[in-house]
Amino acid sequence: MNSLRKWALGSAALVAFASLGASTWAQDQAPPMTVVKIKNNVYWAHDPNFGQGTGSNNGFIIGKKGVILVDTKTTLAAEKVVIAEIAKVTPLTVNTIFITHSDGDHVNGLAAFPDGVTIVAQENCKKEMMESVSSRNPAPQNRLPTRTYDKTDKMTVDGIHVRLYHWGPGHTSGDTVVYFPDQKIVFGGDLLISNRPEIFIHPAKGGTVAGWIENAKGILTLKADTYLTGHGEKMTREDVQKKLDQTVDKYNKVKDMVAQGKSLDDIKKSFGEPLVTTGRGEGGAPAATLTEEMYTEMTKKS
């Protein structure tokens, strides 16, 4: 019996050691942020390590006198890595930053840039950044947007034509779709993600599923051939259409069941979903599933 017990303890220790080693190896071998040349002067700072504190995908375009950046990382240190990568491509520095929305993993890296940089965002995004001052993860209050817009805006920065669109609250209340018409490239922020099976909404920031659908429809009216995501891999037009069709199909099914008076649990069961939410949301609290978001929107009393 003693011999058997020693063998069991030894085996357990070996398994634990192997698991620890595998975990450490996985972290050591995790691919770093990579800068991918999309076309001509357009680059994508693609980050497969989301969840390790680095943040969103970033993009940058080299203009005549400076660099245009789309979004930043979660921290000053993480954004300095992006700045170092830009320096490998061009001696020009960032002079204009477009922010797709107010989440910390897209805006907190603004702290890495000096005074005088132009920061452009939708007006609700600036409001959300200001309101985050009392949150656990506040946006840098000395790097708030210097230029805002309501529904759409267009400008030419260092010879680069830029179009900005806000079709309504989607992922948040202040989403911006950044479109470069000459390059036919869309930066969708977290309206476009490919690292999860369904879209993700921030209702606490005024995001809505119905609004996301309108944003996706708007994106598909643009004459783009490349769609860069806030998280995950880049998408094609077909990918965006598929995500829209999938979301609209589920939205209509939930709407029909709500009209029939079915409960949220009944609706979740119909999709084979667990009744208890386990996802992680703001502050570590469970994040509502897409089904729950749809149900809440459809049953919310005005």
Alpha carbon separation from 17 to 5, 13, 171 (Å, rounded): 18, 6, 41
Please give the tally of structural domains in the chain.
1
The answer to whether residue 51 is domain-embedded is: yes
Give the Cα separation of 218 and 230 in Å (integer). 17
The answer to whether residue 150 is domain-embedded is: yes
Residue 164: name the closest of 67, 245, 99 by CA.
Answer: 99
The answer to whether residue 131 is domain-embedded is: yes
Q: Give the mean model confidence (pLDDT) for residues 134-151.
A: 95
Residue 176: name the closest of 232, 74, 97 by CA.
Answer: 97
Give the Cα separation of 118 and 162 in Å (integer). 14
Q: Give the mean model confidence (pLDDT) for residues 50-67.
A: 84
46: confidence class by pLDDT, cuts 50, 70, 90:
confident
The answer to whether residue 256 is domain-embedded is: yes
Give the Cα separation of 302 and 298 in Å (integer). 10
The answer to whether residue 26 is domain-embedded is: no
Residue 82 belongs to domain with CATH number? 3.60.15.10
The answer to whether residue 189 is domain-embedded is: yes
Question: What pTM did the predictor assign?
Answer: 0.86
Give the Cα separation of 101 and 231 in Å (integer). 13
Q: Which two tokens stand for residue 79?
A: 């954004």
Q: Which two tokens stand for residue 73?
A: 């990382």
pLDDT value of residue 49: 62
Coil/strand/helix, residue 134: helix
Give the Cα separation of 28 and 99 in Å (integer). 31
The answer to whether residue 24 is domain-embedded is: no
The answer to whether residue 227 is domain-embedded is: yes
Quote the domain boundaries for residue 90: 31-299
Q: Sort residue 19 into left (φ over 0), alpha (ψ -120 to 50) or beta.
A: alpha
Alpha carbon separation from 77 to 83, 84, 152, 182, 247 (Å, rounded): 10, 11, 32, 32, 36
Q: Which two tokens stand for residue 43?
A: 């680059």
For residue 40, pLDDT beyond 70:
yes
pLDDT value of residue 137: 87
For residue 207, pLDDT beyond 70:
yes
Give the Cα separation of 254 and 279 in Å (integer). 20
pLDDT value of residue 287: 66
Share the mean pLDDT of the chain. 87
